[in-house]
Chains A and B, each alone.
Chain A
Amino acid sequence: MGSLLSLPVIISALELGFIYALVALALFLSYSILNIADLSTDGCFTLGCAVGAQVVIMGHPVLALFAAMLAGVCSGYIMALLQTKLGVESILAGIIVNTGLYTVNLAVMGFSSNLSIFKSDTIYSLFKDVLGNTSYKLVVSIVIVLIACAVMAWFLGTRLGLSIRATGDNSDMVKASSINPGFTITVGLCISGSLTALSGCLIGQYQKSCDINLGTGMVTIALASLIIGETLVGKSSVFRRIVGVIVGSCLYRFAIAVALRLHIPAECLKLVSAVIVAVAIASPYLKSQVAFQRRKMAAVSGGKGGDGAC
């Protein structure tokens, strides 16, 4: 283990794990709670990064976070508008918004495919002197993500949060409680968009650059984190599920870090991610299948003959 994961590798995996946990948290809201597959995540992530980078270049790294979140809200709002007012299916709405965002992102970046913010102060460099050289990025990321998680946990217990949870669970019942499901979907997607964009903004400031393809595959990675978390930590309460999101995201980053240490070439990383995602998503099902096969074997060998062995 020690040779596989050195301290700097662990720290950087945790840093990325926490930052990307925000996207997983966004999907927790849109996918797990609202039951909407939000495929605009990729574009929204890049949008957050691009908007954040531009504001950072203007010299406001803290304001950049809020600007990125606002941009994410807009993206989520358009996604919701397509679904609730124009009758577009959620998957199609996501694809449409994602496609449109590509141009929007390019425009935000001044029609160039990448943007460097090396010369500007970032939210991380602001705290470098206070927090020390080794862990300042980790501490800043953890603080921001924990705030986001705490707000989310609190929010889901409020009347509005309850309505959003019920919308994904039983929208008939939401209507019977005199709440417009279109409204709760809109609020949910706006919040989810803002979290995705916030994550993009943090990654941009972390890497000190923004690239038009930064968000590619983000939705798969976030889903994997979400499902790893749900499998390992469980989904019995909202609190557990939110903890699971962070745990899942960090574990995913560790898996990638291990893959890199095993000298898997960087070009193959997407394939590695895809395999990790597939394994993560399939594992709960496989687990139940293995348990079932065991029971079946036990029943067959314990019984009189091969009656049940078909």
Chain B
Amino acid sequence: MLRLVNVRKVFNAGTVNEKVALDGVSLTVNDGDFATIIGSNGAGKSTLFNCIGGSFYVDEGSVFLDDRNITYVPDYKRAVQIGRLFQDPMKGTAPHMTIEENLALAYLRVAKKKSVFSRISQAERNMFRERLALLDMGLEDRMKQPVGLLSGGQRQALTLLMATLIPPKILLLDEHTAALDPATADKVIELTKRVVQENHLACLMITHNMHSALEMGNRTLMMDSGRIVLDISGEERAGLTVDGLLEKFSAGAGRELDNDRILFSKIE
């Protein structure tokens, strides 16, 4: 469904700061795939997402979504089919607008056929309320409040709802629970699992938590120095422990994993 062919992205090309962020990455994500991505610092995980989401264009290679070449499609057009969540809970919502207005904007992705001069209808309002109630955070009673008043976890849950209000083809999660406290992070993770499962979404999730990397989804990718060094699924993945994963990483990358946050989370 999503296919990257030989994608290459270089930052600051031709200067001393030249950095090859993606070095010929090829990847195929099938319908219903839920892949977790882990990797060392600066491995190119977020760059990979930016190339898929269209935040910048790749230097070489192509990106296909459902066999349509989207390599040069701008990010806002890709957003119809690609939902994204970032580590920063502030990034996905407009703080000075109400919860209801934020949801209405997210709903625009499909409401394209409606007139740009139409307003939020009562039916839509009811639908938003129902969906908010599913988050189980009491947000359905605060629809007229500005989003800036919500906590980070609530904002991230709302962003998740907004990204999946109209199920996209693929959901990109960039350490979307990393900035949350453990209890809220667990809640958002549970929500993520449920939303992905209910809508049968394809999903890529960057995480620094080795346990959830193995526990969630059906596939795990490991990245290092702009390359995918490990891609495991099925039986090979089923019996794998965190230590086993680290060993496999060293074998694939030819060096130890150096992501401090991953190593810290391993102690937990």
**Interface of A toward B, CB cutoff 8 Å:** 155, 157-160, 162-163, 165-166, 169-170, 172-181
Contact = CB atoms under 8 A, between A and B. Distances in A.
A173 to B, nearest CB: 5
Given A163-B105, A166-B94, A177 B118 contact: no
B91 A175 contact: no
Contacts of A166: 94, 97, 101-102, 105
20 contacts: A158-B117, A159-B108, A160-B116, A162-B101, A162-B104, A163-B108, A165-B94, A165-B101, A166-B94, A169-B94, A173-B91, A173-B102, A173-B105, A174-B94, A175-B75, A176-B106, A178-B79, A178-B108, A179-B76, A180-B76
Contact of A159 (B95, B102, B111): B111
Nearest to A172: B91
A146 B17 CA distance: 57
Nearest to B88: A172
B152 to A, nearest CB: 15
Nearest to B120: A157
A162 B105 contact: yes
Interface in B149-170: 162-163
Given A159-B104, A170-B93, A173-B93, A178 B109 contact: yes
A158 B119 CA distance: 4
B189 interface: no
A170 B94 contact: yes
B119 A176 contact: no
A158 B109 contact: no
Nearest to B108: A177
A181 B96 CA distance: 17
A235 to B, nearest CB: 9
Contacts of A175: 75-76, 79
A177 B109 contact: yes
B77 A170 contact: no
Contact of B116 (A159, A172, A178, A181): A159
Contact of B77 (A169, A178, A181): A178
Interface string B68-92: 0000001111011001100000111
A165 B83 CA distance: 21
Nearest to B83: A176
B75 A159 contact: no
Contacts of B255: none
A112 B115 CA distance: 45
B75 A179 contact: no
A81 B96 CA distance: 27
A172 B90 CA distance: 10
Interface in B47-69: none
Residue from B75, B83, B105, B114 whose CB has the most chain A CB atoms within 10 Å: B105
A158 B108 contact: no
A169 B97 contact: yes
Given A159-B117, A162-B104, A170-B93, 10 more contacts: A159-B114, A159-B118, A160-B117, A165-B96, A165-B101, A166-B102, A173-B92, A177-B105, A177-B106, A178-B76
B88 to A, nearest CB: 10
A273 B108 CA distance: 44
Contact of B92 (A159, A162, A176, A179): A176
B94 A173 contact: yes
A169 B92 CA distance: 11
A157 B119 contact: yes
Nearest to A165: B97
Given A162-B104, A178-B79, A169 B116 contact: no
A181 B91 contact: no
A174 B96 CA distance: 13
Nearest to A187: B116
Which 6 pairs between the two chains have the least Cβ-Cβ distance?
A169-B94, A160-B116, A178-B79, A175-B76, A166-B94, A170-B94
Contact of B105 (A157, A172, A174): A174
A57 B90 CA distance: 54
